[in-house]
């Protein structure tokens, strides 16, 4: 199953997709990774100092990182 949403941000077209898959090997390129992070009864959300909006933790995977490795690194950097 794939859930897709198209929207515009600062004049740019953004396409967001959620894939219910056991592997992401055939999904290239993966340019952004974001995730819901749970701890007991809490959910992690982040906000940069320049933004007014809260967001999920995540960002751009580095070269040779898996999506999970990129997400874990981003969560560690942002939290």
Provide the pLDDT for residue 28.
80
Round to whole Å and give the CA distance between 44 and 38. Answer: 6
* Domain count across the chain: 1
Round to whole Å and give the CA distance between 75 and 44. Answer: 9
Segment 6-63, tens digit of pLDDT: 989 899 999 988 888 888 778 788 889 998 899 999 998 888 888 788 888 999 999 9
Provide the pLDDT for residue 21.
81
Which residues constitute the domain of residue 33?
A: 2-78
pTM over 0.85: no
Segment 19-31, tens digit of pLDDT: 888 887 787 888 8
Provide the pLDDT for residue 73.
95
């Amino acid at each position: 199953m794939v859930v897709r949403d198209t929207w515009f941000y600062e004049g740019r077209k953004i396409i967001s997709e959620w894939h219910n898959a056991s592997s992401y090997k055939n999904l290239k390129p993966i340019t952004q990774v974001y995730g819901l992070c749970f701890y007991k009864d809490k959910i992690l959300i982040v906000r940069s100092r320049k933004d007014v909006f809260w967001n999920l933790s995540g960002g751009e995977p580095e070269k040779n990182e898996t999506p999970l490795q990129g997400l874990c690194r981003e969560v560690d950097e942002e939290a």
